[in-house]
Amino acid sequence: MWGSNRVPTPNIPANRCAASAAATTFGRRSSGVHRSVRADTAGLSFSATVDTRYSSSPTPLKMAAMILGLLSTAVALVALHVLDTADGTRHRRILPQRWWSIGGLDALVIAVLVWWHFVGANTSDDGYILTMARVSEHAGYMANYYRWFGTPEAPFGWYYDLLAMWAHVSTASVWMRLPTLAMALTCWWLISREVIPRLGHAVKHSRAAAWTAAGMFLAVWLPLNNGLRPEPIIALGILLTWCSVERAVATSRLLPVAIACILGALTLFSGPTGIASIGALLVAIGPLRTILHRRYKQFGALPLLAPLLAAATVTAILIFRDQTFAGETQASLLKRAVGPSLKWFDEHIRYERLFMASPDGSVARASRCWRWSSPSPSRWQCRCAKDESRARPPAPAAASSGSPSSRSWP
């Protein structure tokens, strides 16, 4: 156990317990206190120093700063909307016509998704993620229970925090995966109502295009996204970011750009593969620069860029709301030192693992390697799942323990 906070422990009779320790990369770690010592116990005592560096709560000043940041961002977005409407253009519909109407193809997709929610296979990481969500209540933060000695999952832990709150009602699989089903339905609504019409007049009115999109969506979603992993919310975030950028370009408005920045940051902090959401902003740099240049002549740079900067950075509250900068830095250093941590030129190792006689090379993982990562069917991204482990939730004092035998790959 590491850390500088000494936790008082009750006096334990020496003839009723024993302590053992195990060597680790960073020194020695207490692995347990056991009973029935038969050797000479004269003068034997036990004390523990528990690692509590990640168990923190925001101070009143920090809480006030976070609330002020949220309110200031909201005011900045309202001000940006006022600047958008200064040209006198009438209000445009947020949702297109027939948005809520359900056709035959929609009914088929809904029926298949609901049916698969009850009979389809889960992902091999559901137990891993569910245990992390349940343990967080005892640990005081979203800890990676199986790896890295209980370091926090931040900056990619806010989605798991939602699962932890969701688990307070029930931990049944059907209940825990209801958010995933809602994300699947929302993704299809965005694809059919927003993405397909943007691909041109011919595609918009083509039944073949709509049925092909539905088939591709179900073919990828059903086997890969019926569990608790963050890929469903990442896919939804990518779609929402793309739609916001498209609306900004189509309407010459900057408020959708700010919303896209918020959505893109939330998607990025859902998981590392969420960085794909930034691509929608990058490919639209040309049109967005034209809009900014036109507004710059009228309002100047600061009134336009300040709200965009606030929108892009407000999600940092999710990272540091219950963690300190020092804790995040130490957690990153520890993860890099313990590993596995691959360099960018070692990416081929991830693929090699899929063809080895190990859990990472099993059918459950190899068949789930390819991940839907953007609204376009031509874009795919490979990811390797974590090594699945099974363990009981720990007691609060044991939340900082790690699993040295874990061999998962992020």
* Phi, psi values for residue 14, rounded to 5°: -65, -25
| Residue listed under structure tokens 């896919």 | 235
- Structural domain that includes position 19: 1-50
Q: Between 338 and 266, where is the model more confident?
A: 266
41 and 74 assigned to the same domain: no
pLDDT at res. 387: 38
Q: How sure is the predictor about 381, in pLDDT bands with cuts at 50, 70 and 90? A: very low
Q: Is residue 268 assigned to a domain?
A: yes
Please tell me the predicted confidence (pLDDT) of residue 161.
Answer: 84
Comparison of pLDDT for 215 and 401, the residue scoring more = 215
The answer on pLDDT for 15 being more than 70 is no
- The residue-averaged pLDDT of 156-173 equals 85
164 or 84, which is more confident? 164
- Judge if 12 and 127 occupy the same domain: no
pLDDT at 158: 83
> 28 and 76: one domain?
no
Q: Are 198 and 347 found together in one domain?
A: yes
Whole-number pLDDT of residue 186: 92
**In this structure, is residue 333 part of a structural domain?**
no
Q: Are residues 7 and 106 in the same domain?
A: no
Question: Token pair 């779609």 is at which residue?
Answer: 239
User: Within 10 A of 187 (CB to CB), how many other CB atoms are there?
Assistant: 24
Q: Which of 380, 367, 350 has its CA nearest to residue 222?
A: 367
Separation of alpha carbons 27 and 179, rounded Å = 42
Q: How large is the average pLDDT for residues 199-213?
A: 85
24 within domain boundaries: yes
281 and 261 Cβ atoms separated by less than 8 Å: yes
- Report the percent of the chain where pLDDT is more than 90: 9
**Higher-scoring residue by pLDDT: 400, 365:** 365
Backbone angles phi and psi of 19, in degrees to 5:
-115, 145
Task: Give yes or no: residues 20 and 120 share one domain.
Answer: no
**Is residue 309 assigned to a domain?**
yes
**Once rounded to an integer, what is the mean pLDDT over residues 194-214?**
85
Question: Considering the domain boundaries, does residue 29 fall inside one?
Answer: yes
What mean pLDDT do residues 167-182 have?
88
- At how many degrees (to 10) do helices 178-190 and 207-224 cross? 160
- pLDDT of 112 reads 92
Distance (Å, whole) CA 197 – CA 152: 42
Residue of higher predicted confidence among 96 and 114: 114
- Give residue 7's pLDDT: 40
The pLDDT assigned to 10 comes to: 46
Helix boundaries (H) for 50-125: 60-84, 104-119
Distance CA 80, CA 132 (A): 40
Bridge partners (DSSP) listed for residue 33: 19
Q: Give the integer Cα–Cα distance in Å for 254 and 247.
A: 10
Distances, alpha carbon 199 to alpha carbons 191, 209, 267, 269, in Å: 11, 10, 24, 29
Looking at per-residue pLDDT, the higher value among 12 and 201 belongs to: 201
Residue 326 has pLDDT above 90, yes or no: no
Q: Is 10 helix (H, G, I), strand (E, B) or coil?
A: coil
Identify the residue whose tokens are 């089903």.
181
Average pLDDT value over all residues in the chain: 74
Q: Which of 39-48, 272-281, 358-367 has the highest mean pLDDT?
A: 272-281
Please, which pLDDT band fits residue 399 given cuts at 50, 70 and 90? Answer: very low
Residue with tokens 């995933």, as numbered in its chain: 180
Rank 82-96, 360-374, 379-393 by mean pLDDT and report only the highest: 82-96
Assess if residue 62 is contained within a domain.
no
114 plus 226 within the same structural domain: yes
Judge if 79 and 44 occupy the same domain.
Answer: no
Convert the pLDDT of each residue in 74-92 to its tens digit: 998 998 888 878 776 766 6
Angstrom distance (rounded) from CA 341 to CA 334: 11
Closest CA to 334 of 391, 402, 409: 402
Q: What is the pLDDT of residue 396?
A: 37
Same domain, 157 and 282: yes
Residue 331 lies in a domain: no
Q: Give pLDDT, residue 207.
A: 85
Give the C-alpha separation, 36 to 297, whole Å: 82
Residue 52 or residue 229, greater confidence: 229
- Considering the domain architecture, whether residues 208 and 316 belong to the same structural domain is answered as yes
Residues 126, 87, single domain; the answer is yes
Per-residue pLDDT, 287: 86
Please tell me whether residues 75 and 39 are part of one structural domain.
no
pLDDT tens-place string over residues 251-306: 888 888 889 999 988 888 888 888 888 888 888 888 888 888 888 878 888 888 88
pLDDT: is 24 or 16 the higher one? 16
Rg of the Cα trace of the chain? 25
Rounded to whole angstroms, the Cα distance separating 306 from 62 reads 22
pLDDT at 123 over 70: yes
Residue 100: inside a domain, yes or no? yes
Specify the DSSP class assigned to residue 311: H
Could you tell me how many helices (H) and strands (E) the chain has, helices first? Answer: 17, 4
pTM to 2 decimals? 0.72
The structural domain count of the chain equals 2
